[in-house]
Amino acid sequence: MSEMWINMGPQHPMTHGLWNLRVRLDGELIKDVDPEVGYLHRGIEKISEDRHYNEVITLMDRCCYVAGFAWEHLYTIAAERALHITPPERAEYLRVLSDEFQRIASHLMWYAAFVQDIGLMSPFLYGMRDRDLILDLYQSYTGARMTYEYFRVGGVRSDLPPGFTDQARKVLDWLTPRFNEYDQLCLGSDIFHKRCDNLGVLKANDCVTHGVTGPMIRSAGLKRDLRKDRPYSVYRQLDFDVALADSADVTGRYLVRMEEMRQSVRILRQVVDWLDHHPGPVIAEELPRWLGAPYAPVGKEGYLLKRHYPKGVGFSAVEEPHGEAQAYVVNEGGEHPYRVKFRSPVFANISAARQYMVGYRVADIPPIMGSVDVCVGEVDR
Amino acid sequence: MANDVTATEKPEQNPVLWVVRPMATAARQFAKSLFRPSTIVYPYERLEDPKFRDRLEVASGKPLGVGAVWDNYRGVHALNIATCISCNLCAFSCPDICIEMVTVPGGDPKHPKKCPAIDYGKCSYCGFCSDACPEGCLTMTTRYELSTPKRAEMVYSPEKLYDVFRSKLPMNPIRLARPANEDAILLDPPLCIGCNACARDCPTQCITMLDIPKPESKPGEKLPRRIWKEPVVNDSDCVRCGTCISVCPKECLFWGTHK
């Protein structure tokens, strides 16, 4: 039988967003794949050039809709380096608190979508249910469930409400036994192993060659985690391990993400304890005019601002739930960033699709793509 | 690191167990959900209802609350027209440019009172406007149901926002953490012509024009044509809206810190 191309997507339940996977098939066998992105392009990098430094943060939540805090953190670090601002320590801990809760929420969202891809229905509901508890926590201190707009250049928007840390501990206590339950539902079943073992294998050297990062590279046994390798924020003070697996397949990615959630709980317990005992300011004391509370007009464009503020560039790299995200902000002295550039981890991860998909069957595509954890919002930006 | 987390080999299992165990977990969850459902019946029950406020706990399976979790929600704005000073800060701070200042009755003819009208078709509920509001008259409430049959109805006039204010919904108590030392309005004296534009348009009336001595004119030198007055800003009343800077014809006012 002759070969044929079929389109998985852009509107397809497997694709988790708006992108297209073109697959060349020989019967059931995958001969070639060609991921095609760009359906969700909103020009976020270009819009950022026309916005104040703080207003770009509203776009970051739309960048990745399941891990908004990670992208806010990424941008704020880069912008602070470009503007030569140091946030207070309590703000850093609040950011790590948000980041790690976001990692759990994002992985739970991945778990819910992934198990549905491999045909399990009820774990989807459990994953979504437990993610909702974290969103409730977010709502109590940021005011929103998905688009937080909580970080500011130079700190965070506000302090925690009273009683927050107790509720956060309750959520952590609730989540800890849940992870074992998820494992029972998946790893406890041989059907899961028959479906996922030795599937979508991407070895460590291939990961390095193609820029694949995050849980995918850790599932191949390579210990690469920016929180350890290039510590940002206060991760240096926190005690945690890097989750590793050695099978480099779909099961390995599952194991790594599950272990990462447990490690996040471990980090969060330390952060919550720290926050209980260290009150303080949450925003830097020295802020330029247009970063302070009201965002007022400043005369003519750039007038008298260059006298106040030195130019600079800022680079940051953050371990996002999906992988390593990077940002570069150029400050030319005006009130808007001159240029903002982002590096999306998922873009690299799905660009390497040919490496881990060719040779498998067409029914293997949903588990493999599910294990990559695609978030198209950040791929297209 | 010594104790790296490494994936273990899958345990050998009895074929009966790998069917029974996941099913038992699912059955346990099902039994729990019969007595403690995780969801609510939305149009009839609402999460922001006071009856949920104290009962929200993790263990109940219901959504979690941290004290008054819904008070912090960023929904439709409430505007207290009476305390609005027409400073324009909400419109300037809006990233989506969805706030337009429209005239409302109550101002004098020369300086009409202008209050924000918000286009909820564009609004992203970021809360920058209520953060920027110096008088606390623009806040965000817990109202979130906005569907209308007409697009024009998505633009909320100040009167409509005032109706939201009068409905006594919980106001968002989150206030932006402000930097300790804020910039102030400074004057570049040689540029000033004493035109009174800043003092006239200041929404808080915190600028006073004070007389300055007229210098003696030397022979052969022409004095600048100006009014011999200079603005003095009362920093404690100033809301840092920047109106004076934007109306100044000579660009002699600027942001800075006092020496």
ipTM of the complex: 0.74
How many Å lie between the alpha carbon of A362 and the closest alpha carbon of chain B?
26
For position A138, what pLDDT does the model report?
86
* Cβ within 8 Å, pair A294-B58: no
B174-188 mean pLDDT? 65
For position A288, what pLDDT does the model report?
63
- DSSP conformation letters of A312-365: EEEEEEEEETTEEEEEEEEE-SSSS-SEEEEE-HHHHHHHTHHHHHTTSBGGGH
Enumerate the residues of chain A whose CB falls inside 8 A of the CB of residue B180: 281, 285
pLDDT along chain A (381 residues), means of 10: 81 74 88 86 87 85 86 91 86 92 91 85 82 83 85 83 81 85 79 83 88 89 88 89 87 90 91 89 70 46 47 89 90 80 89 88 86 84 80
Helix (H, G, I), strand (E, B) or coil at A289: helix
For position A305, what pLDDT does the model report?
41
What is the residue whose two structure tokens read 């098939």? A25
Judged by a CB distance cut-off of 8 A, whether residue A283 touches chain B is yes
CA B200, CA B249: separation in Å to the nearest integer? 13
* Cβ within 8 Å, pair A299-B251: yes
B210 or A298, which is more confident? B210
- Partner-chain residue, chosen from B5, B63, B245, that has the shortest CB–CB distance to A136: B63
For position B2, what pLDDT does the model report?
39
For chain B positions 70-109, those within 8 Å of chain A (CB to CB) are 70, 72-74, 89, 92-93, 95-96
Closest residue on chain A to B134 (Cα): A294
Listed residue (A65, A57, A149) closest to A106, CA to CA? A65
Contact (Cβ atoms closer than 8 angstroms) between residue A245 and residue A255: yes
Judged by a CB distance cut-off of 8 A, whether residue B172 touches chain A is yes
Contact (Cβ atoms closer than 8 angstroms) between residue B4 and residue A245: no
Contact (Cβ atoms closer than 8 angstroms) between residue A133 and residue B58: yes
The CATH class given to the B184-256 domain equals alpha beta
Mean of the per-residue pLDDT values of chain A:
83
Judged by a CB distance cut-off of 8 A, whether residue B38 touches chain A is yes
CA B146, CA B158: separation in Å to the nearest integer? 16
CA A323, CA A74: separation in Å to the nearest integer? 12
* Cβ within 8 Å, pair B69-A51: no
Residues 6+ apart with CB under 8 A from B195: B227, B249, B250
The DSSP 8-state label assigned to residue B102 in this structure reads: E
For position A84, what pLDDT does the model report?
82
pLDDT at B23 over 90: no
For position A362, what pLDDT does the model report?
86
pLDDT at B27 over 70: yes
Residues in chain A: 381
CA A44, CA A342: separation in Å to the nearest integer? 10
Structure tokens, A242: 């890097």
The CATH class given to the A44-356 domain equals mainly alpha
* Cβ within 8 Å, pair A294-B64: no
In this structure, CATH architecture of domain B73-166 = 2-Layer Sandwich (3.30)
User: Whole-structure pTM over 0.90, yes or no?
Assistant: no
B199 or B17, which is more confident? B199
- A136-145, A160-169, B7-16, B228-237: which range is least confident on average? B7-16
pLDDT digits (tens, 9 = 90+) for A281-305: 887 776 665 564 444 444 444 344 4
Q: What percent of chain A has pLDDT over 70?
A: 92
For chain A positions 133-172, those within 8 Å of chain B (CB to CB) are 133, 136-137, 139-144, 147, 149, 154-159, 161-164, 167, 170-171
* Cβ within 8 Å, pair A171-B58: yes
SS3 percent helix, strand, coil of chain A, rounded to 5, is: 50, 15, 35
Enumerate the residues of chain B whose CB falls inside 8 A of the CB of residue A189: 18-19, 21-22
For position A269, what pLDDT does the model report?
92
- Partner-chain residue, chosen from A171, A173, A190, that has the shortest CB–CB distance to B13: A190
- Intervals of CATH 3.30.70.3270 along chain B: 73-166, 184-256
Residues 6+ apart with CB under 8 A from B204: B85, B87, B237, B238, B239
Q: At what angle do helices A56-63 and A68-83 cross, to 10 degrees?
A: 150
